[in-house]
Structure 1
C-alpha cells in the first residue's frame, strides 16, 4: 500500500512541560524529526505565562484547565509528564475529546485496558488502546528492557533477577536536592568511618529517602508490601512481565538507592530457555535499538552512571555467561533516568501514534 496524504500533522500537547522531564522532552522535540503540527505547552497555574523554546520558537505555557485543550481532538496526542494523581484526573478529560494520551506516570501501568509500551520492544502494542491511553514504564524498567527484549527474542527469557542502583533523582528534584545537602554536610570530614556518624550528622533531614544517602546506599524504594517486598520492586516485576508478554515470568528485584545524582544502573541475571553464547549475545546487544554496548573490561571500558547521564541510550557492559548455568547471562546496564527512562520513551511513543494519524499515514 502506498502512503497517501490524509490529514494535517497532528497537534501535540505536553502536559508538565516545565518539569525536569518536560524540559528534556522540549529538547528532544527540537532535535528529532518534526512530525507535529501545533505544539501546546501546559503546566500548573504556577508556571502559566512562562515562555519556553521548542522547535526554535517561544511558546507560552498554559495553565492546566479544560480550556487548555480547546481545539484538540481526534488525531491529536497529549503527553502527560505529571504525577500519577494529576494523570488519573486529567487523562480521561482529554481522551473524551478523542485525543490519545501518552502517560509516563504510574496511574495506568497496571490497567489491562492500557498498553504499557517501550517502542524498541513492543511498538505494536501502542495501536490497541481501548481507553485512548498508552502508558510508559518507570525509569528502572526502561533502563534494562530494550536489552532484555532483544535477548528474549533470540533465547526466550525464562527467569530474571535484578538489583538496581538508583540515582537520587528517582525521587525527583527533592531527591537531588536532599543528596546535595547531605553531601555538603559530609564533604571534607571523616564521617562515614564510625557507626551512625553520617546518620547523626544528617539528623532528620533525610529528604525522601529512608536513611541518609550521602556516603551510603539505601536498600529501599517505595512502600512496604506483603512479604517484605517494596511497592517499587513489585512494580518493576509487573512491568517487565507486561512489556515482554510473559505473565508468569519469575522475576526477583531488589531496589537500592545510591549517592548518584543522575543515571540508574542495574545488575541483571537473565536465564533463558535456550543455551546462551556470550559472544552472540554481545552481537545481539550491539544491534539492538536503544542500546549501546561498552564491554571491554581489559581496557577499563564498561558503563557507569556518570557517563550515561544526559544521554539517550541504555549502555550495557560486563556481558558474561554464568559460571554455573549454560542458559544464564549476566550483564550491567546504565541509563539516564530522566532522558532514556522517561522523556525519550514518551516522545518516541507519541511519534509512533502520530505515524497513524499524520499526513503520510498508511
Structure 2
C-alpha cells in the first residue's frame, strides 16, 4: 500500500545503491538513445504478487497487461512494434524488492519498470533507479522518498492529495465531530491521520475529537472500538490496511456504534466486503471506481471486465494508466531507449492526458487526480454527492 520508509528501508537503500552500481549488464538488447522505436519493448513489473498487499501488485499488473494488449492491437507505437510484460514477485519484502529490482535494472533487455507498490520497497530502490537511469513508474507507494530523481515516476496520486474530499463530505453532511483511528506504522496513514486530515477537517468545519494510533501488528481493536463507541461521535475516520479495517469495523459495530464510518481507498476494490454488514454504508474517497461514469473510465471498466470476468479495482486502473503513460511517452519522444522513455514520460506529464482515472495532471513526475467519494452498500460501490 501507500506506505513509507522505515529503518529497514533506509538500510535497504544503502544496499541497493551498492548492488546497483556493481551489477553487471544482463541481456544485450538495450537500445541506445536516438535509435527510434524498437520492434519489441520489454516492460518489467516488479511488485507484490503474494503477501499481505498482493492485491495492489496483482491489480496493477492486470491493468498493465490490458493496456499492453490494447497498445499492441492498435499498433499504437507503429506497425510491428509490441510491448511485452515480464513479471517478478517482491512478496511484500523490502530486501527481496531490492534484490529483484537490482537484477531487473541490470537486465539490458528491460527498457522500463513498473515498480513496487509498497512505499517502503519503492523508497528503498528509488535512489538506485536514478543511478542506473532506468525509468520506473510506481503505483501506490504514496509516501515521500519515492519520486526523488529524474527516472522515478508515480502513476498513483498520493492519498493526501485528494483525501480532502472526505473532509468536505463530512462537513457538507453535518457530521461535525469525528474520531480518527490510524495505522502509525505506515507513514502515509500516519501523515494522513496526524497532520493532513485534521487540517482538512478544520477547513470544512469538522472537529477531530479522539485520535487513536495503532500499529501494523494490531489485530484486536476491542479496546479502541469500545473507547470510540462510548464517545459516540457522529462519524469515525479509519486509516487502516485492508485486513485491520475489516476487524475494526466488525468490533466497532459489536461495541454498539451506529454512526458513519469513513475509510480510505484501501477499502475500495471490494476489500470492505469481508466485513459483511458492518461495512454497509461505509464511505471513502478513491482515485478510481468502476462506478465512475466518465467515458474513459467506463471504457476501461468494460474492457477489463471482458478480459478478466470481473470489474476492475483502483490498482488495475493505476497499472493501466501507468502503461498508457509509458506508451504515450515512447510515442512522444519516438525513442524506446531508457533515456528516450524517461524524456517521453516527462513530456507527457507536462500536458497530462485522460485515462481510466479520468483527467490526469502531474506535479512534476507525480500524478494527480480529482478523486471521487463512493459508498459501499454491501455488494458494490456507488458514487455519492
TM range (shorter): 0.3 to 0.5
With structure 1 as the length reference, what TM-score do the two structures score? 0.39
Q: Counting helix residues as a fraction of each chain, which structure ranks higher?
A: 2
